[in-house]
């Protein structure tokens, strides 16, 4: 039987691909914890972004408006939930996590059902929101301080509040700069 030196047999190619696959699986680090941490960071940024969008909407319309924080997103408040002649802040609907989530973000908040924004963009209601992830050791928080409605993101000290308990603003410490 003559053997042509022009190529590889199917068995040789399959063995080579299997060996390369095993080596590659050993080299690729487990990035799931990093993805979970990044998902939590993104949710905190989106939490603050929703407030900023509401402030801009109120300034742009030169009219006070209201927004609501749901368990998964910022929502335009429904008209029947708004006090007096307050309008819903339009165009602020923003999800706290991407559709390809790694795990659910839990939202613990003591913000009122409707957060009021003045016509000049000041937040009229304050409170604390804690975001936690089942596979991430730390929790992030957002505090809206009154009287000017300044918001800041921080790291929540201790365990996130149990369902039904209010988070405390004193547990929200400013984040240390990375790197």
The predicted structure's pLDDT at residue 34: 82
**115-170 confidence digits (pLDDT tens):** 999 999 999 999 999 999 988 999 999 999 887 788 889 999 988 888 778 898 88
Confidence tier at 104 by pLDDT (50, 70, 90): confident
pTM of the model: 0.75
HSE on the CB side for 79, CA within 13 Å? 1
Backbone φ, ψ for residue 49 (5° rounding): -60, -40
Q: How many CA atoms lie within 13 A of 149 on its CB side?
A: 16
Closest CA to 110 of 44, 45, 161: 161
Superfamily designation of domain 32-174: minor pseudopilin epsh domain (3.55.40.10)
Backbone Cα Rg of the chain: 24
- Name beta bridge partners: 141: 130, 154
How is 141-153 classified by DSSP, letter by letter? EEEEETTTTEEEE
Query: What are the CA-CA distances from residue 172 to residues 111, 129, 131 (Å)?
Result: 15, 9, 11
Domain layout of the chain by residue ranges: 32-174
């Amino acid at each position: 039987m003559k053997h042509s030196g022009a190529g590889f047999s199917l068995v040789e190619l399959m063995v080579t691909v299997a060996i390369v696959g095993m080596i590659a699986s050993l080299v690729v680090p487990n990035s799931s914890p990093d993805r979970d941490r990044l998902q939590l960071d993104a949710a905190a940024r989106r939490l603050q972004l929703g407030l900023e969008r509401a402030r801009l909407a109120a300034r742009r319309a030169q009219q006070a408006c209201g927004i609501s924080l749901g368990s998964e997103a910022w929502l335009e408040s429904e008209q029947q939930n708004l006090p007096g002649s307050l309008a819903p802040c339009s165009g602020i609907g923003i999800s706290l996590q991407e559709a390809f989530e790694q795990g659910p973000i839990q939202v613990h908040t003591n913000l009122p059902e409707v957060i009021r924004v003045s016509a000049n963009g000041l937040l009229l209601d304050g409170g604390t929101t804690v975001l936690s992830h089942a596979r991430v050791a730390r929790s992030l928080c957002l505090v809206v301080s009154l009287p000017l409605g300044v918001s800041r993101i921080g790291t929540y000290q201790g365990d996130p509040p149990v369902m039904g308990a209010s988070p405390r603003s004193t547990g929200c410490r400013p984040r240390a700069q990375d790197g």
